[in-house]
A and B are shown apart, each in its own frame.
Chain A
Amino acid sequence: EDKVVQSPLSLVVHEGDTVTLNCSYEVTNFRSLLWYKQEKKAPTFLFMLTSSGIEKKSGRLSSILDKKELFSILNITATQTGDSAIYLCAVHSGAGSYQLTFGKGTKLSVIP
């Protein structure tokens, strides 16, 4: 059974801090790993990673995948209160499969 584990489950930081969120996975036929941000209800797409060692970057957010060690990290630098959300990691696996296996998420709270 495919498995995605995120850590920590929750995190409280002050504005300006840098945070690293972790996602490890055990899946058959890995295809890609995705990060989503869920603020109130709808998860919104952040990154999709398919190749090892290539950093994806968008503003203060960046992510990298290690396919050998089966994990990914999401970094947020100079955090702001608007970064407070649940960050979801999902892995797409299996040829022809539509299924994304999600982790439980990391709840990030950024306090002023």
Chain B
Amino acid sequence: ETGVTQTPRHLVMGMTNKKSLKCEQHLGHNAMYWYKQSAKKPLELMFVYSLEERVENNSVPSRFSPECPNSSHLFLHLHTLQPEDSALYLCASSQDRAGLRQFFGPGTRLTVL
């Protein structure tokens, strides 16, 4: 049990839909992360929030929009996605500001038709 939950676990959406991914951490951590994991590619960091402020944004297209209303919750809002955005989206959190040891959620498997 990692203490990081994600919903939904699976999502199929059309290119014109708008949907949101949710992540919640029950560990009292200070930082939260969104990663994208595509087949045969390394995990790619998308966004980092520390104490609800976005501290890193790795040139992610604007069709992905993160939101961190408090230190326990993180959202990823999706709109007008492309088929190549189909991937596993993983949320993680860490206690320390250095982000050394990150605890991952189970991920959302996203398919864009």
Instruction: Judge whether B21 is part of the interface by a CB distance below 8 angstroms.
Output: no
CA distance A96 to B109 in the complex (A): 31
CB contacts under 8 Å to B, within A77-112, are 88, 90, 92, 96-105
CB distance from A19 to the nearest CB of B (A): 21
State the B residues within 8 Å of A (CB): 2, 4, 31, 33, 40-45, 48, 50, 55-56, 58, 88, 90, 94, 97-107, 109
Q: How far is the CA of A97 from the CA of B99 in the complex (A)?
A: 8
A61 within 8 A of B: no
Point out the residue from B45, B56, B58, B101 that lies within 8 Å of A34, measured CB to CB. Answer: B101
CB interface residues, A 1-21, toward B, < 8 Å = 4
The answer to whether B2 and A42 have CB atoms under 8 Å apart is: yes
CB distance from B57 to the nearest CB of A (A): 11
Tell me if A75 counts as interface (CB < 8 A to partner B): no
Residue among B44, B101, B106 facing the most chain A CB atoms (10 A cut-off) = B101
Question: Are A98 and B31 in contact (CB-based, < 8 A)?
Answer: yes
Give the B-binding residues of A (Cβ under 8 A): 4, 31-32, 34, 36, 40-45, 48, 88, 90, 92, 96-105
Once A34-B101, A98-B31, A100-B99 are accepted as A-B contacts, the answer to whether A41 and B43 lie under 8 Å apart by CB is no
Residues in B with CB closer than 8 Å to A103 are: 42
Given contact pairs A42-B2, A42-B105, A43-B104, A98 touches B99 in the complex (Cβ within 8 A): yes
Contact of B90 with A104 in the complex, beta carbons under 8 Å:
no
- Taking a contact as CB atoms under 8 Å apart, the answer to whether A98 and B41 are in contact is no
Asked if B98 and A41 sit within 8 Å, CB to CB, the answer is no
Chain B: minimal CB distance from A28 (Å)? 16
CA A37 – CA B101 in complex, angstroms? 13
Residues of B contacting A97 in the complex (Cβ-Cβ under 8 angstroms): 56, 99
Q: Shortest Cβ distance from A31 into chain B, in angstroms?
A: 7
